[in-house]
Amino acid sequence: MNSSLSVSPQSVADRIIVPLDVPTEDAAIALIDTLPEVRFWKVGLELFVSSGPSILDYLKRHQKKIFLDLKLHDIPNTVAGACRAAGRYGVDLLTVHAANGRVGLKAARAAVAEGAERAGVEPPKIIAITVLTSLSARELAFDLKIPLELPEYALQMALLAQESGLSGAVCSPQEVGQLRQICGDDFLLVCPGVRPKGSVLGDQQRSLTPGEAIAGGADRLVIGRPITAASDPAAAFESICQEIAAVV
């Protein structure tokens, strides 16, 4: 278990990132207002393409932490340009694909720092996508023709990110224990695909419960539909906080 974070109610809430997986800024604001207890929100491709950086401004005005999950993947120069632009937003986390390769990852790290310095803000921590949690081992092998077993491939992608100077990685809960053991306590590990007991898995192929993921070494959990689609979202969020508090 990673015990680098305190066990105060505030720090427990900080370990849960709730996605704003909605198509418009108005819908996002409504969700934020419905869950004032949530301290950390994820803005992904759909909402960012729809609303642009104005939703980031709204979150910052309300003292929320921001995970800008754009999963950038392109040639190094293009990824660097996007990271330079994103660096000025003052967000907390930013994702790029580890499959950008060593040159691309190093370019991203340098560019995001440059953009943040120009804007006079703290640079976001860049974390690398290892393997999408929607992918199964069979798809990795047969569709993508990756010759490694899925856990080994996820580990290699995380190590590449670490060696390139990135702050952490995104991985499924089923790989987080191995990554924590090998990458060490200072490497930030964020786990999507987390589902409380009894929840529908949906498109998540490699899931664990929040307590299991935290016990395995995750620093942050991305949990969407079990909270946002619950009949009582605030109660669902509180229940997950209690489950996490019991294992940290």
Domains with residue ranges and CATH for the chain: 9-241 (3.20.20.70)
CA distance 205 to 195: 11
Q: Is 22 helix (H, G, I), strand (E, B) or coil?
A: coil
pLDDT of residue 207: 64
List the catalytic residue out of 60, 64, 71, 106. 71
Structure tokens at 113: 């720092």
Quickly tell me which residue has 């930030």 as its tokens.
188
The whole-number pLDDT of residue 157 equals 98
pLDDT value for 211: 93
- What pLDDT, on the 0 to 100 scale, is given for residue 248? 83
Successive 10-residue mean pLDDT values, the chain, 248 residues:
49 95 97 97 98 97 98 98 98 98 98 98 98 91 96 97 98 94 98 77 63 95 95 95 91
Closest CA to 49 of 20, 12, 92: 20
- 71 labelled catalytic: yes
